[in-house]
Structure 1
């Protein structure tokens, strides 16, 4: 009680009132409550009380294990534990990725309360020989549904196998899903199910004002900039679908200088940097944080005024967790969801089914600032920034394509050329995975008429028009020589198959000259025929040095070089055959290699 009073915790929330008593009785608990309702204390208080009753010491080893899906949430839980439990003599530890494994291994066997992420915990179970959990008294999973959503199911199953079966288990989350029930069947024994707001009218806090706008893809960046310019004294979190979107738009908005501090939080950052950004944003009174869903789970950002979902969330659960970063602990807050016209109908239906009150508002076009030319100027001056824009483009398309709900997300309905321009790019970068899907669609449709992946008439028109643009672009670049060279190549093949009779050496020499003159044209034809098939027109870029996930476009010079070398070999072989055939028919002696005088120097003075 003393720790709670010193930490200024005086009011008990509903989830704490209903779950702490059950947990102190030794029962397994499956608890769900709205975001910002105080779930962290609902499991920390029973954990401290359990070890206090057992008079647990550092010699007894691990007594309580708390697992969270993200490093930031684990760090936040650890901070709350230090505040509330500072008057106890228990040892507490935090093990997360990004820290020194050897240093953690030296201390882990002395820890009584361990807060961790699943991957790091399993790594210690496999590699740290003196790490034991045989005396574990309580297992706690925070944001349990997200642990499964993030692909931790196999990891969690392996962890649970290494834990004693005789233990108490507490599971907490803001949403209740089937996946949590599946996990509950694996680890809970006759659990007490507590859903505080199950009968509530809405699934989100009553103090949260929620709205959505329908915005064309090419206007979203302009809309975001205009919004920030009109909310300079507010604290805002903007959620994006991918890390590369955050990286590019963060750099761009720093250059645009909207009038308030701009921060970025995503999974590609080092752990120290993520903690630094989190702490910095918490301290600021007015700022904007560009983030991925890494910031949507459990993190407590005080006094956030706005949550903007720049990209449509995967489902209603993700929406609820995102907006939960504001209107916490009965404070007020506002949330704005940005939807494309193709996403509006299905997504709004999902939110209504989950009892989320959301109202449509309109954009005032007079207040919309166009920043496209400024972005183009930035990219023209900075090649690295241009490559980030290309990666942003590809990454967004990939995130849309990988979404499960195809009623909401259809990558083929997106205006690619217009979206590229809105990012400051002159043309749409090459997107290889879409090319593969485009090639597979006709085959799949003919093989199985019930295939869920169907290409609409609009998709066909869009793709075919882009292909035509790509072909015309390549033909223009090669000055219309593609068709001419193809004709010459066909004519040369006919001559090879049916060589004409030669009347003398002079005609043979003339034929040799013609072959030599056409050799360069044939090389160009080979290269042209390859490039005509590329879609969309590529830009010169250094993105090839990046990983597969960063595939943004550009001519692969090494690949072109290999193609030309192969064509050279083919041309030379055909040329030799042709000359030999002429020599044989005309009874001319074979061509001999000229003698080289070794006394002649390669260099002359």
Structure 2
């Protein structure tokens, strides 16, 4: 199937061709026709399956076909959890809408508030925003929703994980009830289901997923003692001559420590985490994307919104919590059908997290051994469908 068969207009098809896209992904095939028909949707699809285009393309077309509204009242609102994702989504809007006369802006914590106000005062069709910054602008009467036609909650599960539920409710209360709403998420959990019930009356549900098992991503783990983890990672990088890796840790101080440990072994790495400025994060990510930097250490802040088409592998130096975060992390590789690998370094202390991840995946991770790193504290085999008694 081609994009033309989905009912998209010639200017959008030309922009897609300019960007090198010819064939829609599964989520795009299912979502675009429904959105063009005016349906509310709840869509579940893994990271890297083309969710952004599945809502941006039909919204652009419907806005282009509609009546242009002048003033501060926006026509489409796309809410995202992080500034990285806000920037990425607006880049997609600019690319896909390059032949249309539509305006957009991304606002997020860390961007210049006065600049945000000035841009909105000029009139904006599509606003991409993080919840906190949007409320700041709304409280200062710098953004209005009278003419809002479309609401998108992108990476909705992540917004809940980051504690945005109160902000989301405050925002939704301000919006006109007559609108088309879309919710996109990699996973649907009970908290998200509850939020969806407050946003939608009769939404069409779409699911494009296989419980986290992507055939184009080779997933495996190595059991390791905590005190030899950095040495093992260095060994894997050198022995396997890795060209590049995005390496996830849980805490920002762990990122700085690992950069130092790798450096002592002759491996140059840098880090992205919440303690670094937006300018620093953008520079490091651009260096990584262009190949100037081979190894990037990141906290969960980089699990969403940082797109790279040809990333060879991701490494879970620390296993994530909650388990759903694993899906978002591995989704940084194997994008758009390309192959990739996801490696997890697992110590005995990680056993409960491992159980939850494997239960979510509905399969055990392949276990591999490195002869040079025998394990003193063995990691037991997980029991699928393990459910923790409480959060750790």
Question: Given the two structures, how large is their TM-score scaled by the length of structure 2?
Answer: 0.88
Secondary structure in structure 2 of the residue aligned to 1:329: helix
- Counterparts of 1:235 and 1:346 in 2: how far apart (Å)? 26
Query: Deviation of residue 352 (structure 1)?
Result: 3.9
Higher helix proportion: 1
Is 1:361 aligned to residue 368 of structure 2? Answer: yes
Kindly provide the CA deviation profile for residues 50-109 of structure 1, in whole angstroms up to 9, marking residues without a partner as x. Answer: 211213254473101111101111111111111110111111111111121112111213
Q: How does 1:523-562 map to 2 (within 5 A)?
A: none
Kindly provide the CA deviation profile for residues 162-204 of structure 1, in whole angstroms up to 9, marking residues without a partner as x. Answer: 111111111111112112211111111201000022xx4x523
- Counterparts of 1:184 and 1:408 in 2: how far apart (Å)? 23
Aligned residue number for residue 307 of structure 1: 314
Secondary structure in structure 1 of the residue aligned to 2:336: coil
Q: How does 1:246-257 map to 2 (within 5 A)?
A: 246-257=255-266
Secondary structure in structure 2 of the residue aligned to 1:133: coil
Aligned residue number for residue 246 of structure 2: 237
Give yes or no for contact 1:139–1:169 (8 Å, CA) kept in 2. Answer: yes
Aligned residue number for residue 180 of structure 2: 168
Secondary structure in structure 2 of the residue aligned to 1:72: helix
Kindly provide the CA deviation profile for residues 93-143 of structure 1, in whole angstroms up to 9, marking residues without a partner as x. Answer: 11111121112111213111111111111110112x242111100011110
Query: Deviation of residue 367 (structure 1)?
Result: 10
Task: Go from structure 1 to structure 2 and tell me whether the alpha carbon gap of 1:169 and 1:356 turns closer, same or farther (over 3 Å shift).
Answer: farther
Of 82, 95, 98 in structure 1, the residue corresponding to residue 107 of structure 2 is: 95
Query: Deviation of residue 406 (structure 1)?
Result: 7.4
Secondary structure in structure 2 of the residue aligned to 1:26: coil
User: What count of residue pairs does the alignment treat as equivalent?
Assistant: 368
Is 1:205 aligned to residue 218 of structure 2? Answer: no
Give the aligned CA root-mean-square deviation in angstroms.
2.2
Of 80, 97, 113 in structure 2, the residue corresponding to residue 68 of structure 1 is: 80
Give yes or no for contact 1:234–1:286 (8 Å, CA) kept in 2. Answer: no
- Counterparts of 1:264 and 1:356 in 2: how far apart (Å)? 31
Of 117, 130, 135 in structure 2, the residue corresponding to residue 122 of structure 1 is: 135
- Counterparts of 1:231 and 1:210 in 2: how far apart (Å)? 16
Aligned residue number for residue 337 of structure 2: 330
Gapped regions of structure 1 (runs ≥ 5): 369-403, 410-605
Q: How does 1:204-353 map to 2 (within 5 A)?
A: 204-258=213-267, 261-284=268-291, 287-344=294-351, 347-348=354-355, 350-353=357-360
Which of structures 1 and 2 has the bigger CA Rg? 1
Is 1:33 aligned to residue 40 of structure 2? Answer: no
Aligned residue number for residue 68 of structure 2: 56
- Counterparts of 1:117 and 1:345 in 2: how far apart (Å)? 32
Higher strand proportion: 2
Aligned residue number for residue 383 of structure 2: none
- Counterparts of 1:208 and 1:312 in 2: how far apart (Å)? 17
Task: Go from structure 1 to structure 2 and tell me whether the alpha carbon gap of 1:353 and 1:71 turns closer, same or farther (over 3 Å shift).
Answer: closer
